[in-house]
Amino acid sequence: MIFTKQNLKYFQNREISHLEFHKRVLLESENKEIPLFERIKFLQIFYNNIDEFFMTRVSSLYYDKILNKQKLDILTNLNIKEQLDLISNKTQKLFKLSDKIYFDLMTESSESYLEHININQIEYNEYKYLENFFDANIFPLISPQIIDKHHPFPFLKNKEIYIYVKLISKKKDTIKIGIIPAVGYFNRIIMIPNNFNNNNFKKKFVLVEDLILHFAYKIFNKYKIISKTKFKITRKMELEPELNEKIKDDCSDMKQVMSILLKQRRNLSPVKLEINKCEDARDVINYLSKKLNLEEKQVFVLKAPLDLSFLSVLIKMFDMYEFPNLFYKKILPKKPENISNISMIDQVLKKDILLSYPFDSMVLFYKLLDQAAEDEKVVSIKITLYRVAHSSQVVSILKKAADNGKDVLVIVELKAKFDEQNNIEWATALEESGCKVIYGLENYKIHAKVLLITRKDDQNINYISQIGTGNYNEVTAKSYTDLCFMTCDEKIGKDILNLFNNICVGTVQENTVKILSSPVIFKPSFLYLIYEEITKALSGQPAEIIIKCNSLSDKDIIFKLIDASKAGVKIKLIIRGICCLIPGIEDLTENIEVISIIGRFLEHSRVFCFGSSYQDKKIFISSADLMTRNTEKRVEVVCPIEDPEIKSKIIKLLDFYLKDNVLAQKLDVDGEYKKLNSSSPDNIFNCQEKLFNL
């Protein structure tokens, strides 16, 4: 089959599918079934997601546009201009919706809890308080600038808010532009004292950028202000490959490379401009776009605040026990019934163990690692670190293990986006504690989440392996759904040992016995697993594939899934985010169903299940999504699950997701996601709530 622009209905562009995910997150902030402050959190997540999307994906498209304007999307055949136009149009609509949602949430909140006050609509005593506060605490600390021949246009920092002021001199009839940074040695949130409130619980606030905007006439007191507004720019994250390579050539190691790259990133070109709505928005856009070299499609006009990060600070002012109606009910992770209080090492040596976060406690994994650090029979600990918490227990235990004389090898991926600086700091701390630290591979990110504990008992060597679908991060383990598998399977242990040895000598793994690792083994093996189901279907046998992951965009896998659907294989995809495959198309994808689960916890686990009957099913867990970057450009580990008890637990887990009619949204043949709400209250099935009882 030849895929052309006439066949767009078969596929969804990756970037548009990504924005569809952000839309699903945004719509959760409208869901009245969710507590108010949790809805506010969803809105904040949406804003942050959009910034990251432009810093990474959109900036890459603009760079590709410079190199090759005719480059086509591999699935939809859309050229770069068409993709950027679609992104801009869709983002404009999303911001229009997010504006409405913000003010709806603030209206609901202002009745009893949080009120974002309008300086122009407050009582006199409140106004005088804010004016005095500005004069005493803000005015002395700001650094305004006029733009003219002697004062060039300033460098604008990424994601920081500025005030734009259009001025006319009182003496000379000349127009000038003023720029005021709204960030400095002062807090962004200014609270109105409680003695101005009738409700002691209610918190009234104003943002410092609104205060600076309002009192801008005091700053430019020799000018008349014609117009004013707030704006924010978002800069791209990625350096041009040529500069990237030059830095690598000039540096002695990857840590030095990343330190320089992080400094260079601060100066990268803008990719998005947001301004608050004002009377002469067109003039502001024209002026700033010219100064920042931005196109019309990169500019967005909003009514709501340009950065919603302040919301999390305000929410923390309310105790969830005092205001239980504002938050999700607190749920504590549990210890699985089949795990006792004896040594975790002894238990793993007897049987495989599976933890399911955040439903199971991560403390059990810490115990395993901590016991390995203390166990005299443990000779080495090897682990990959991609993202860890700022106060990481895992890192602390690894440092203790090195102090205890263990051979500790840590693969730290310095190229983990948005966590580079944190990883540089941890890498340095680990090195100083005596751990051997390696910064990954030259051309591949180390995204696998694996731990190998080697234990020598008399003449025997035992391997305890841990394979995870998510990071060794105690913070995200409380809000991301992930699986942590621990085993003493010798073949898996030797495969993982081989993986570490390859990384240590700068090569990728080409042979395994049990695990499927990328970039060499995973993708061909995965395609073959699909082929096996196709063979069953063509011979009249039941055939089924269930996949749970974050994203599906790998062209080869998509085409093979289409072949499987055409052969009669029943395919169920649980894809949280990007899904470039459109299901339900007659004679093409009619045997494929796609759902997305958006809920209290971020769905993050990756599970691949092939076969229809229990005896027939082959089950794997992994940190890998079905994207080309995971299958071809990263080191990933896909681990088979063979223990009957754990296999049954994962099958039941998948069944819970497929039964959900509260959090699930189904992807239709038209490319739209629709809620699967139950018609009867008795039939409500929330998979995340049910998983706490699994």
Known catalytic residues are 447
DSSP summary character for residue 513 = S
Measure CA 58 to chain center: 16
Beta strands across the sheet bearing 270-276: 145-147, 175-181, 161-169, 223-235, 270-276, 299-302
Give the list of residues 6+ apart from residue 524 with CB closer than 8 angstroms, or none.
none
| Look-up of token digits 């390696």 | 438
d(CA 639, CA 468): 9
d(CA 527, CA 400): 43
d(CA 537, CA 480): 35
| Look-up of token digits 């499609």 | 297
d(CA 76, CA 85): 15
Among the listed residues 435, 369, 427, the one whose alpha carbon sits nearest the alpha carbon of residue 407: 435
CA distances in angstroms from 108 to 311, 339, 554, 667, listed in the order given:
15, 45, 43, 31
Question: Would you call the peptide bond into 241 cis, given omega within 30 degrees of 0 as the criterion?
Answer: no
d(CA 229, CA 274): 11
- Complete DSSP assignment for 94-161: HHHHHHHHHHHHHHHHHTTTEEE--GGGS-HHHHHHHHHHIIIIIGGG---EEEBTTBPPPP--TT-E
In the chain, the amino acid numbered 248 is: K
- Complete DSSP assignment for 533-578: HHHHHHTT---EEEEEES-B--HHHHHHHHHHHHHT-EEEEEESS-
Among the listed residues 689, 481, 674, the one whose alpha carbon sits nearest the alpha carbon of residue 24: 674
Residue 610: beta bridge partners? 545, 618
Q: Residue 322: exposed, middle, or buried by beta-carbon count in 10 A (0-12, 13-18, 19+)?
A: exposed
Among the listed residues 259, 261, 262, the one whose alpha carbon sits nearest the alpha carbon of residue 245: 261
Q: Supply φ then ψ for residue 513, to 5 degrees.
A: -100, -45
User: CA Rg, the chain, in Å?
Assistant: 27
Among the listed residues 92, 403, 134, 530, the one whose alpha carbon sits nearest the alpha carbon of residue 272: 92
Among the listed residues 234, 232, 298, the one whose alpha carbon sits nearest the alpha carbon of residue 89: 298
Query: Could you tell me if 381 and 408 are in contact, meaning their C-beta atoms sit under 8 angstroms apart?
Result: yes
Coil, strand or helix: which one is 19? helix
Upper half-sphere CA count for residue 429 (Cβ side, 13 Å): 16
Residue 229: beta bridge partners? 164
d(CA 135, CA 114): 25
Helices then strands, each counted (H, E), the chain:
21, 27
Report the length, in residues, of the chain.
Answer: 694
